[in-house]
Structure 1
Protein backbone atom coordinates (compact mmCIF):
# COMPACT_ATOMS: atom_id res chain seq x y z
CA UNK A 1 0.00 0.00 0.00
CA UNK A 2 1.42 3.39 -0.96
CA UNK A 3 2.04 6.00 1.72
CA UNK A 4 -0.60 8.33 0.20
CA UNK A 5 -3.29 5.63 0.25
CA UNK A 6 -2.29 4.68 3.80
CA UNK A 7 -2.62 8.32 4.91
CA UNK A 8 -5.92 8.74 3.05
CA UNK A 9 -7.36 5.70 4.83
CA UNK A 10 -5.99 6.95 8.15
CA UNK A 11 -7.52 10.44 7.79
CA UNK A 12 -10.90 9.15 6.65
CA UNK A 13 -11.04 6.68 9.55
CA UNK A 14 -9.78 9.18 12.13
CA UNK A 15 -12.28 11.89 11.25
CA UNK A 16 -15.19 9.49 10.67
CA UNK A 17 -14.67 8.07 14.18
CA UNK A 18 -15.15 11.62 15.45
CA UNK A 19 -18.35 12.21 13.49
CA UNK A 20 -16.73 14.37 10.80
CA UNK A 21 -17.77 13.61 7.25
CA UNK A 22 -14.94 14.50 4.92
CA UNK A 23 -15.73 15.91 1.48
CA UNK A 24 -15.12 13.74 -1.57
CA UNK A 25 -11.92 15.67 -2.15
CA UNK A 26 -10.59 15.03 1.37
CA UNK A 27 -7.22 16.58 0.48
CA UNK A 28 -8.78 20.06 0.41
CA UNK A 29 -10.46 19.73 3.82
CA UNK A 30 -9.12 22.44 6.11
CA UNK A 31 -9.47 20.77 9.49
CA UNK A 32 -8.07 23.83 11.30
CA UNK A 33 -10.56 26.33 9.82
CA UNK A 34 -13.39 23.84 10.30
CA UNK A 35 -12.62 23.70 14.02
CA UNK A 36 -13.47 20.01 14.21
CA UNK A 37 -10.60 19.14 16.59
CA UNK A 38 -10.00 20.61 20.01
CA UNK A 39 -6.46 20.72 21.43
CA UNK A 40 -6.71 17.22 22.91
CA UNK A 41 -7.98 15.77 19.64
CA UNK A 42 -5.15 17.51 17.79
CA UNK A 43 -2.67 15.78 20.10
CA UNK A 44 -4.50 12.51 19.52
CA UNK A 45 -4.20 13.08 15.76
CA UNK A 46 -0.45 13.68 16.02
CA UNK A 47 0.16 10.61 18.18
CA UNK A 48 -1.99 8.41 15.95
CA UNK A 49 -0.21 9.69 12.84
CA UNK A 50 3.17 8.98 14.40
CA UNK A 51 2.05 5.43 15.20
CA UNK A 52 0.63 4.98 11.71
CA UNK A 53 3.69 6.13 9.78
CA UNK A 54 6.35 5.18 12.33
CA UNK A 55 7.89 8.65 12.31
CA UNK A 56 8.22 11.53 14.74
CA UNK A 57 6.23 14.45 13.37
CA UNK A 58 7.81 17.73 14.48
CA UNK A 59 5.49 20.35 15.95
CA UNK A 60 6.47 22.83 13.25
CA UNK A 61 5.00 20.51 10.60
CA UNK A 62 1.63 20.54 12.37
CA UNK A 63 1.82 24.27 13.18
CA UNK A 64 2.69 25.30 9.62
CA UNK A 65 -0.39 27.07 8.20
CA UNK A 66 0.15 25.43 4.80
CA UNK A 67 -0.56 22.08 6.48
CA UNK A 68 -4.05 23.06 7.59
CA UNK A 69 -5.50 20.98 4.76
CA UNK A 70 -5.28 17.22 4.96
CA UNK A 71 -3.66 16.92 1.54
CA UNK A 72 -0.82 19.29 2.38
CA UNK A 73 -0.35 17.66 5.78
CA UNK A 74 -0.19 14.24 4.10
CA UNK A 75 2.41 15.55 1.63
CA UNK A 76 4.54 17.01 4.44
CA UNK A 77 4.37 13.75 6.40
CA UNK A 78 5.29 11.73 3.31
CA UNK A 79 8.33 13.98 2.81
CA UNK A 80 9.53 13.14 6.33
CA UNK A 81 9.89 9.48 5.42
Structure 2
Protein backbone atom coordinates (compact mmCIF):
# COMPACT_ATOMS: atom_id res chain seq x y z
CA UNK A 1 0.00 0.00 0.00
CA UNK A 2 1.46 3.34 -0.97
CA UNK A 3 1.39 6.33 1.34
CA UNK A 4 -1.14 8.08 -0.89
CA UNK A 5 -3.53 5.13 -0.86
CA UNK A 6 -3.06 4.68 2.90
CA UNK A 7 -3.98 8.33 3.48
CA UNK A 8 -6.99 8.01 1.20
CA UNK A 9 -8.21 4.88 3.00
CA UNK A 10 -7.68 6.51 6.42
CA UNK A 11 -9.56 9.63 5.24
CA UNK A 12 -12.57 7.56 4.17
CA UNK A 13 -12.52 5.51 7.38
CA UNK A 14 -12.22 8.68 9.49
CA UNK A 15 -15.26 10.35 7.91
CA UNK A 16 -17.32 7.16 8.14
CA UNK A 17 -16.49 6.78 11.83
CA UNK A 18 -17.17 10.49 12.45
CA UNK A 19 -20.73 10.16 11.15
CA UNK A 20 -21.20 7.14 13.41
CA UNK A 21 -19.83 8.98 16.48
CA UNK A 22 -21.57 12.37 16.02
CA UNK A 23 -24.97 11.48 17.52
CA UNK A 24 -23.61 9.98 20.76
CA UNK A 25 -24.11 12.08 23.88
CA UNK A 26 -26.00 14.89 22.18
CA UNK A 27 -28.61 16.76 24.18
CA UNK A 28 -30.86 19.23 22.43
CA UNK A 29 -31.47 22.77 23.61
CA UNK A 30 -34.99 21.74 24.65
CA UNK A 31 -33.65 18.91 26.82
CA UNK A 32 -31.23 21.24 28.59
CA UNK A 33 -33.84 23.99 28.93
CA UNK A 34 -31.61 26.59 27.29
CA UNK A 35 -33.16 27.45 23.91
CA UNK A 36 -31.31 30.33 22.24
CA UNK A 37 -33.63 32.74 20.44
CA UNK A 38 -33.51 32.35 16.67
CA UNK A 39 -32.17 28.78 16.67
CA UNK A 40 -33.79 25.42 16.13
CA UNK A 41 -34.90 23.99 19.51
CA UNK A 42 -33.64 20.56 18.47
CA UNK A 43 -30.12 21.87 17.84
CA UNK A 44 -27.42 20.47 20.12
CA UNK A 45 -26.66 22.50 23.21
CA UNK A 46 -23.00 21.41 23.45
CA UNK A 47 -21.89 19.32 20.46
CA UNK A 48 -18.39 18.53 21.85
CA UNK A 49 -16.78 18.41 18.41
CA UNK A 50 -13.16 18.41 19.57
CA UNK A 51 -13.74 15.44 21.86
CA UNK A 52 -15.56 13.60 19.09
CA UNK A 53 -12.75 14.34 16.62
CA UNK A 54 -10.23 12.78 19.02
CA UNK A 55 -12.42 9.73 19.61
CA UNK A 56 -13.00 9.42 15.87
CA UNK A 57 -9.25 9.57 15.19
CA UNK A 58 -8.53 6.81 17.69
CA UNK A 59 -11.26 4.51 16.41
CA UNK A 60 -10.31 5.21 12.79
CA UNK A 61 -6.67 4.37 13.56
CA UNK A 62 -7.66 0.99 14.99
CA UNK A 63 -9.94 0.23 12.03
CA UNK A 64 -7.18 1.35 9.65
CA UNK A 65 -4.70 -1.03 11.28
CA UNK A 66 -7.07 -3.93 10.62
CA UNK A 67 -7.53 -2.82 7.00
CA UNK A 68 -3.80 -2.38 6.55
CA UNK A 69 -3.10 -5.84 8.01
CA UNK A 70 -5.70 -7.38 5.71
CA UNK A 71 -4.27 -5.53 2.73
CA UNK A 72 -0.74 -6.73 3.61
CA UNK A 73 -1.98 -10.30 3.97
CA UNK A 74 -3.35 -10.18 0.42
CA UNK A 75 0.01 -9.00 -0.96
CA UNK A 76 1.67 -12.32 -0.20
TM-score by length of structure 2 reads: 0.31
Bigger proportion of residues as helix: 1
- From the CA coordinates, give the structure whose radius of gyration is larger: 2
TM-score by length of structure 1 reads: 0.30
